[in-house]
Amino acid sequence: MTPAARFWTYRTLLDALRTVPAGARFVTMWNARGAPDEETVTFGQFMDRAAGYAELYRARGVEARDTVVLVVDQSIALLAAFAGALLVNAVPTVLAYPTFKVDPEKYRGGLTGVTRNLQARLLVIDEEFPRDLEGYLGGGAVLRLPPVPPTGRIEPREFPAPHPDDIAFIQHSAGTTGLQKGVALSHRAVLAQLRNLAPVLELRDTDRVVSWLPLYHDMGLIACFVLPLAAHLPLVMVSPTDWVLWPGSLLRLASAHRCTLCWLPNFAFQFLARRVPERDRADLDLSSLRAVINCSEPVRTESLEEFARVYAPSGLARTALASSYAMAENTFAATQSAPGRFPPTLFVSRSVLAAGRVALVEPQDADVRPLTSSGRCLPGTDLRIVTEAGAPMPDGMVGHVILRSPSLFDGYYRRPDLTAGALRDGWYWTGDTGVVWSDEVYILGRHDDVIIVGGKNLYPQDLEEIVSAHPRIHDGRVVALGAFNPDLGTEDLVIVAEVHAEDDLGHAVEIQAEIRQQVLGQVGVAPRLVHLVPPKWIVKSTAGKPARAATRQKLVNERPELDRG
């Protein structure tokens, strides 16, 4: 039975757990500091651990539909602890683990706010979780999770079956703005996503997934755990922290284990192209990868092209590069590009796009901006481009992206105030700006992030890419913002950029002038302010994206004259 056909036999995710092939390999986890450096468990061994954790939960009073919060470092234990909560028909949710990359104050505040909103029966942490952070966990009892639980004595079929409309688990937003929003998803919604995604991906029994993605993000949880778990496919993992320190580990694992599927955010394509030394690429064989999928909004053409060019000598086919438009509120993917071909790319006029529509130009045109498609809608998914008032717009016009599908969420968990603005008459207002052309969906970015200068729409991702190209600026550590100028009645363009090293700030005047010239030359608008900052100054979300609102507030605290609107 193919994975796509297998999904139709399930009423709930518990059915997927009950039918695992016990002797087949499931998870291989790479650990840079381990001995040995790889741990592999079969599906049967994984289910034994899940059942052991399920018994621990029941001993702590967890009952059906209770929420179980998991704040556990990425590991086989985390995966099994999540599955253990499913076994007892509880509602698991994974929160970000504290790391050196996350601002401590921001983490503590977010942890308290999210856990209080969840009102969990049980808060599960691992043995390494800092004891000084336990006081910021709001809600129920705390369980320190053993790496390997007591042997499970209850078979999955002995647990009560949930109803398809019961909540399966809660996902959270990436946390780029304010308090993370909980997205409660039913078994029915999750299975609808898998059933509609599998045939578009041409999912096969021979597929193997490789991932570094965290489970607190929909890309990591759905594509790189729930999908292979329910499809009974092997999964090869490296933790996010280990991947940042040893980025080549992901590709080395893909090569060694002949992996076929990989999902990545846009920045990871450039990170892998630029941070893996040539000597570490010499013996890679990436010919097995048939789909490496960019799930960012927007998909950057240059990032895919650079990745394809750098890894072509390693056997990576350019046609293996793919794209998707995904979000937690829709379980995961709303669109997916066709496997086996590079996603369609439009070459459009940057100035005409700034006015709100698409006009095709030649690739060599000085005013060109390439737009790479995020694919076409999955079966059963409707996507529209609409005006502020909700009126449909014709193809080629830029507007708000709204969608509806069988895998859509019912609302934000315990947040009816946020749900009312996001769900309207069955349509989810994504907050993204995009355009449709020949049934392909092109995402331009967050609507609230668009900077309007004298009636011209500037997309921050374009500006950030221009500035990141400067040799003294840390690639990916740039934020473009709009600051309202009441004297002119429009926004001014403000650039916040991290230099590579503190010493570079001694050349600030020179760097600022060069950045202004580059931005003016490419978009026709000169920044009012180029604010250079030291390394690690810009606030990032738990998913590694620029936290624009938090960065803006940090800037205003230093430059209060910018807050005039």
- With respect to residue 42, please indicate whether it lies within any of the assigned structural domains: yes
Query: Is pLDDT above 60 for 565?
Result: no
Structural domain total, the chain: 2
- Do the domain assignments include residue 363? no
Residue 37 within a domain: yes
- 33-57 pLDDT per residue, tens: 876 799 999 999 999 999 999 999 9
From 397, 346, 351, 343, select the one nearest 374 (Cα to Cα). Answer: 343
Instruction: Report if residue 370 sits inside a domain.
Output: no
- Asked if residue 371 is part of any domain, the answer here is no
Q: Specify the DSSP element, H or E, that contains 126.
A: strand 122-126
Nearest Cα to Cα of residue 263 among 315, 226, 232: 226
> Which residues does 387 contact at the CB level (< 8 Å), separation at least 6?
393, 399, 400
- Domain ends where: 210, 234, 258? 234
Average pLDDT in the 67-96 region? 96
124 within domain boundaries:
yes
User: Which residues form the domain of 536?
Assistant: 450-562
- The Cα 85–Cα 66 span in angstroms is 9
Output 411 or 322, whichever has higher pLDDT: 322
Identify the three-state secondary structure at position 346. Answer: strand
User: 364 lies in a domain?
Assistant: no
User: What pLDDT sits at residue 157?
Assistant: 61
Among the three residues 234, 256, 286, which one is the final residue of a domain in this structure?
A: 234
User: How far apart (Å, rounded) are the C-alpha atoms in residues 411 and 174?
Assistant: 16
Spell out where 233-358 has E strands. 235-238, 261-264, 291-294, 321-326, 333-336, 345-349
Q: Check which CATH number belongs to the domain holding 507 and give it.
A: 3.30.300.30
Neighbour count for residue 28 (Cβ, 10 Å): 21
Amino acid at 220: G
Q: What is the mean pLDDT of the chain?
A: 91
Per-residue confidence band for 176, with pLDDT thresholds at 50, 70 and 90: very low
User: For residue 187, what is the domain's CATH number?
Assistant: 3.40.50.980
Q: Quick one: pLDDT at residue 455?
A: 76
Nearest to 156 by CA among 106, 258, 84, 67: 84
Which three-class secondary structure state does DSSP give residue 550?
helix
Q: What is the pLDDT of residue 175?
A: 47
- The stretch 15-43 carries a mean pLDDT of 92
In a domain, 349, yes or no: no
